[in-house]
Amino acid sequence: MNTKRNLGAFKLWSASVLPVTLVILSNISFVILIYFNQQYLDWDQLNYLNVGMSVAILVFFIFLIYEALRPVKLETPLEEENLPFISLILPIYNEEKHIFDVLTSIIASNYPFEKIELILINDGSTDNTLAEIRRFTDHTNADVKLINFSQNSGKKAGLVAGFKIARNEVILTIDSDTFLLPDSIRKLVGTMDSSIDAICGHTLVKNEKINLLTRLQGYEYLLSHELFKSFEAGYNGVLCCPGCFSAFRKSALMEVIDEFERSVIFNYRVDYGEDRYLTALLLKNNKKVVYTGVAVAYTVVPETLSSFVIQRKRWIKSWFVNTLYLFGLARHKSFIYQVYFYLSFIFNLLIISSIPLFIYFAFTLNWNFLLHGLYMVVLYIIFTLLNQGKIRLIMPLIFYVFTLGIYSWLVPLAIGNISDHRWGKRAG
């Protein structure tokens, strides 16, 4: 068996673990101070607590990266005659700008042309999307099925319609702004052995170099896949197979399709984060959900702050609801996976307290908190500049400062609007 270490995760060590650890440590320290004020603990005792938590958290992240670096199996490429027939489902809404190029990238794949069933769902587009789809179908002999919704019904409705009519066991899903490489489909399917029920590939940002916001999202995607999904895959429990580039077994999907179509969790209708919810349903049914870094695709991320916030409204609501939904499931996983699952949930919630508590404690209790934070920032900048002038290493610091600033108000706002089905809902 050929194996390969996930060196991408190793490269993230110097650029990720330090700022992540510092941010999380600061969050926990601030929360502890709420409960253990000066009347209970003096500053020396608090410092001992900080050191202890620092060591514990650092050990956790070292193990996280160690797990992500474990050798992974490299599937032997299948001969063309052994490649399975596949159904590729693509919901589309108002994507006249990208859709023709996206469809062209599918046909340009080195996957056997005659083994791809292409199911396109035009979800009530109001621009020239349908005309662009027609332009594509008029110039190809591909096996294309086109479903036209008279009005926008949402991505979930499009996926359900596609799942039901797909005639093949292996089903791929991509978004209307996903761009495939020639070998993307072949590598994703080639990694999906008979024991795997769902698998997601490695998604990179196509428009990463547009501005600082897109660069930050590029780093976020890299960290999410190379580190976190790699770790989760080691326990067959990837928490989200993104709709932009994933593959599923139809037999597994049919077991959960009724629940997926109803989309009700804790008596709330879930109109957001359909990819995370679908993954949660599969995990609840004890399905094997993994990630592979050898199959790569590109997606387009928001380029403006307003569109970024709208997207993250949906993502945060989906993350919160589906994580609670999976709380019971995590108990049946290994101890390490449980630690990862629950601590990740807690750390994400603590983000909302970072900015206000940092300001409060810095200016009302002890200036050491502010000075300590600035000291660490200066050290990190010096480290970056001395590391062969690789200024890009400062991106993690910028990313986490940006994350704290945005999520400190966006997380509570999103959670507070979970029952509002209009708030944060996307069209298509």
Fold (CATH) for 73-309+322-330: Spore Coat Polysaccharide Biosynthesis Protein SpsA; Chain A (3.90.550)
The token pair that represents 18 in the structure block = 């330090």
Instruction: State the amino acid at position 428 in one-letter form.
Output: G
Do the beta carbons of residue 246 and residue 202 sit within 8 Å?
no
Residue with tokens 């009347």: 39
The ranges assigned to domains in the chain are 3-71+334-416, 73-309+322-330
- Full-model pTM: 0.79
What is the pLDDT tens value at each position of the chain, 428 positions in all? 444 445 444 444 444 444 445 555 555 555 555 445 544 555 555 555 555 555 555 566 666 655 555 555 545 556 677 789 999 999 999 988 889 988 998 888 899 888 999 999 999 999 999 999 999 988 888 888 999 998 988 889 999 999 999 999 999 999 888 899 999 999 999 888 889 999 999 999 999 989 988 988 888 888 788 878 888 888 888 999 998 999 999 999 999 999 999 888 777 777 778 899 999 999 999 999 999 988 999 999 999 999 998 888 888 888 888 888 888 777 777 788 888 888 888 877 776 666 666 666 656 655 555 555 555 556 555 555 555 545 555 666 677 677 777 777 777 777 777 666 553 444 44
Please give the backbone phi and psi of residue 171, each rounded to the nearest 5 degrees, phi first: -120, 125
